[in-house]
Amino acid sequence: MAFSLSLLGGCATKVTRLDTADTVDLSGAWNDTDSRMVSDEMIADMLERAWLGQYVARTGNPPAVIVGEIRNLSHEHINVNTFVGDIERALINSGRVEFVASKTERLEIREERKDQDLNAREDTRKPMGRELGADFMLKGVINTIIDASGKTQVRFYQVDLTLISLVDNRKVWVGQKKIKKLVERSKLRS
């Protein structure tokens, strides 16, 4: 009976908790490791460049950045939101830029403010028209090139991010990160 129970034990679903920093590549598709790797490296690069120092020297304040559209022009349905989340986290945690809510987030906040205008107590009401206007917009594109033969595939991802000044449309920073993966699928299955 112990033997049969131990056999049955092999049938249950097995769950192993991983550290979020662990790299587990299962299918070769864009995963959380790619998203984190790209956002950390690119934001680190962005914050090292001259534009930041020049802006602070000119105005005396840290710049306000808003994340605009990150277009997915790749072969996969990549969840761009997690990527944007990683970028935002990297930017805010650096402490060197200020961050404002994106277009979609603002809608809900403005609704709340409008509601406060009607319903909240006078001294706690947050007036409209006091938002911090962004100074720079971060836009991006994810591209892929796929080369396949038989069961082997080489996937090349290129993520391009651009920081554009909202004053005069100047591109103050352009970053690029490439990832290349070799995916070999097995020729046999059970």
Q: List residues binding another protein (CB under 8 A).
A: 27, 71-77, 144, 146, 148-151, 185-190
CA distance 159 to 155: 13
Q: Which residue, 28 or 85, is less far from another protein as judged by CB?
A: 28
At 144 the three-state DSSP class reads: strand
Return the number of the residue (130 or 189) whose C-beta is nearest another protein: 189
Least Å distance, CB 186 to another protein, is: 5
By C-alpha distance, which of 117, 20, 100 is closest to 63? 100
Residue 168 near residue 134 (C-beta atoms within 8 A): no
Token pair for residue 156? Answer: 């090349």
Q: In 46-95, which ranges are E strands?
A: 64-73
HSE, side-chain direction, 13 A CA sphere, residue 42: 28
- Least separation in angstroms between residue 67's CB and another protein is 17
Residue 47 Cβ vs another protein, minimum distance, rounded to whole Å: 29
> Residues 87, 39: contact at Cβ < 8 Å?
yes
Q: Which is nearer to another protein, 2 or 188 (CB)?
A: 188
Q: In angstroms, what is the minimal distance from the CB of 50 to another protein? A: 33
Could you tell me the smallest distance in angstroms from the CB atom of residue 32 to another protein?
18
Which residue number, 27 or 169, has a Cβ lying nearer to another protein?
27
Q: Nearer Cβ to another protein, position 29 or 47?
A: 29
Please, which residue, 126 or 151, has the CB nearer to another protein?
151
Of 47, 188, 189, 64, nearest to 137 by C-alpha is 64
Residue 183: half-sphere exposure toward Cβ, Cα within 13 Å: 19
Number of neighbouring beta carbons within 10 Å of residue 37: 16
In the complex, the smallest distance separating the C-beta of residue 1 from another protein, rounded to whole angstroms, is 30
